[in-house]
Amino acid sequence: MKIELSPENTDVIAYLKDKRRRAVMPYIIWVAAVMIIEAAFMFRYFGERINMPISALIWLILLVIPIVFGKVKFPKPSFEGVITDIRVKPSRGLWLRNGGGMLDPYEYKTWVIYNTIITVDIGGGKTKKVVYQDEKHENAYPYRVGDRVRYIWGMKYMQIIPDGDLKRYYICPFCRANLQPEDEKCGECGLSVPKGK
């Protein structure tokens, strides 16, 4: 499902297009480098001693390395749907820092990151999961079960489509500014607010 922003959001659209290019460009450069390395070294130094299946396998491994290690984040398709479930799961980690003492040179500290897992029903029996992480609050995102939301890759949050409730606030998915239900656009970045359905 392709969702486009309305044409008046020229600055935001330009930013998202540039972010998509910057997300894909490192992988394109990596692919080009792998092709050059294979052409320059493998044929020259191995010649006929390395057959095509082995060469293809090495080439495939080199291509998937940045994907496996999370170094490449491809733009995800946008979608719109209704939130059916919101769960918060804390995950604990341990980090090490120098203590500076002779007998206790290192200090261990535990940090907690809260993962807010939001399930969105996009219709046709399909669901999407969106995960937000926060180190300070258990749930710092003003989403509710039943909200109609719009996910556009590159924005910080999903966009809530207002339902007419005048007692709640919204957040701008682009710049995180607080929005009132009657706002037609964000006062900080100018992103237009979609009309409720």
pLDDT tens readout for residues 36-83? 777 666 665 555 545 567 667 777 887 788 777 766 777 888 899 999
pLDDT digits (tens, 9 = 90+) for 128-164: 999 887 765 545 567 889 999 988 888 888 888 877 6
Q: For position 119, what pLDDT does the model report?
A: 93
Q: Which of 14-18, 135-139, 173-177 has the lowest mean pLDDT?
A: 135-139
Long-range Cβ contacts of 103-107 (<8 Å, 24+ apart): none
Per the CB < 8 A criterion, the answer to whether 152 and 173 are in contact is: yes
Secondary element (H or E) of residue 116: strand 106-123
Query: Could you give the 3-state DSSP secondary structure of residue 120?
Result: strand
